[in-house]
Structure 1
Amino acid sequence: MKVVDETVAARAKARDLDVLVYAPHFTRLPEIRERAARFSDDELLVVPGREVFTGTWRNRRHVLAVGLTDPVPDFISLDGALSAFAAQEAAVLVPHPEFLNVSLSADEIAAVEDRVHAIETHNFKVWPQKNSRAQSIASDSDIPTFGSSYAHLRGSVGEVWTTFDRRIECESDLVEALRDGAPRRVYRRNGTAHRARCLAEFAHLGYENSWKKVDRLMLSGTEPTHPDHVAYDGNFDAVSEY
């Protein structure tokens, strides 16, 4: 999920979900953790995640990390991000491979496959042919899979989900299941409502990729996940792309 609030949590519970991964764009880890904890309870676990934008805005690649203990900024090199994830023993996931200009390609995945724990083979936001392509990439690489609603809109929660062969009681359980390649299956809903929500999510890309966001992200270096932000204390200067 890219958004979580009372509505999202209630809808997740109504759809019998046990765990949500909350990974909003351009938000620092402490804030993500605080919000995830706020909406976790005995019925629903919300796990914090960071979908890091590696590279430059024009040549960005998304990589999702679950289980980070320390913040990692956006717009650093792919190698720099993967090294930071490995140092924290986070689970490293590839969302929406080969989708538009924001995703790792098959060749890029092959080059780092020993540092990746799962590839997304069903993303609610992308077209069926792209999901089929993702399945082929995962099969060729022999990397475990996962699926998600990738929801930027509240009504999309639970349209796609992943089940594991074990209960996930806490964040470390999920990280362990992902890193160890625990058996899992990916499911999705069907029908007219499902397709309509998919179209709404895809339409949301217009804002996600707008120049308004570019301006907000890159002008001053003071944005929360910019590598020059004081919060990172210069730790990522060597791998910064800006």
Structure 2
Amino acid sequence: MTFRVDCHVKVLDDRVVERAKQAGLDALVYAPHFTRLPEIRERTAAYSDDELLVIPAREVFTGTWRNRKHVLALGLEEPVPDFIPLETAMAEFERQDATVLVPHPTFANVSLERSDLEAYAKTIDALEIFNPKHFPMHNRRARTLGEAFSLPPITSSYAHLPRTVGVAHTAFETPIESEADLVTALRDGVARRVVYKSGLNRWATTATELGHLVYENTWEKVDRLFLSGTEPTHPEHIAYDGRFDDEAVY
């Protein structure tokens, strides 16, 4: 028996759920940017049903805009803000005994590099070896890094657009009925297969998602950086009770 999980999506609505079910997925991991954990949990609960499990996660935006690194965390019990140093985020994940995944390694300027993997290999539970936004050389490099550091593989659609959901998933050889089950499967290195589509449709998906990435990294996100202290996941937001005020990079 296999349990098919899209390990990272950015969008969640009725279209996403319908597309996931049509693709034969059993679960989605929902981790939108700049959204606090309680809101993510509330939204995943609203869209989960007997056919599709939707699991909350946080892709934390660490570092500055010029030197940012994304890290995906599951099983968090307390919120972790964006715009903090990588070492602060990783220490907080370790304190909470969260499951830590590496999305799109070494991709552009938004990812963990080889030196980061060397530093935090013992904290990391899995590394994404296929991402539909990547070109073949990026996916080959990710696979090589996973093997070099003996990190179990995952994949995801990394969907920022509903049409991308279902193009890739990780098939675990164990039943997963809850967030805790997935956290345990990832932490214990349960056997799994990385499954993804190829061909012209896949390349159309890559082109569309890359176009969206360009948009996201120009007007939309740059504008957010000037909302210092008001962004919901800014470390100086009142929701964090001052715990991260001294760690804020903005």
TM-score (norm 1): 0.97
Instruction: For 1:49 and 1:212, locate their aligned partners in 2 and report how far apart those are by CA, in whole Å.
Output: 22
Question: Which of the residues 57, 74, 85 maps onto 1:77?
Answer: 85
TM-score (norm 2): 0.94
> Displaced runs of 4+ in structure 1, greater than 2 A?
217-220, 237-240
Deviations 1:166-191 (A, max 9, x none): 01100000001111111111010122
Residue of structure 1 in register with 2:124 after alignment: 116
List alignment gaps of at least 5 residues for structure 2.
1-8
Of 183-192 and 155-164, the range deviating more from structure 2: 183-192
Paired AA for residue 191 in structure 1: G
Q: For residues 180-199 of structure 1, what are the structure 2 equivalents within 5 Å?
A: 180-199=188-207
Determine helix, strand or coil for the equivalent of 1:24: coil
Verify the 8 A CA contact 2:58 2:74 in the aligned structure 1.
yes
Residue of structure 1 in register with 2:242 after alignment: 234
Paired AA for residue 4 in structure 1: L
Q: For residues 14-93 of structure 1, what are the structure 2 equivalents within 5 Å?
A: 14-93=22-101
Q: Percent identity?
A: 57
List alignment gaps of at least 5 residues for structure 1.
none
Determine helix, strand or coil for the equivalent of 1:115: coil
Verify the 8 A CA contact 1:217 1:226 in the aligned structure 2.
no
Superposed displacement of residue 194, structure 1:
1.8
Question: Which of the residues 149, 163, 169 maps onto 1:161?
Answer: 169
Superposed displacement of residue 211, structure 1:
4.3
Determine helix, strand or coil for the equivalent of 2:19: helix
Deviations 1:14-53 (A, max 9, x none): 1110010000011111111111111100000000010001
Superposed displacement of residue 212, structure 1:
3.9
Could you say which structure has the greater relative contact order, defined with CA pairs below 8 angstroms and 6 or more residues apart? 2
Instruction: For 2:128 and 2:207, locate their aligned partners in 1 and report how far apart those are by CA, in whole Å.
Output: 19
Aligned-residue CA RMSD in angstroms?
A: 1.1
Instruction: For 1:71 and 1:108, locate their aligned partners in 2 and report how far apart those are by CA, in whole Å.
Output: 23
Verify the 8 A CA contact 2:61 2:68 in the aligned structure 1.
yes
Residue of structure 2 in register with 1:204 after alignment: 212
Residue of structure 1 in register with 2:4 after alignment: none
Residue of structure 2 in register with 1:96 after alignment: 104
Verify the 8 A CA contact 2:132 2:202 in the aligned structure 1.
no
**How many pairs align?**
242
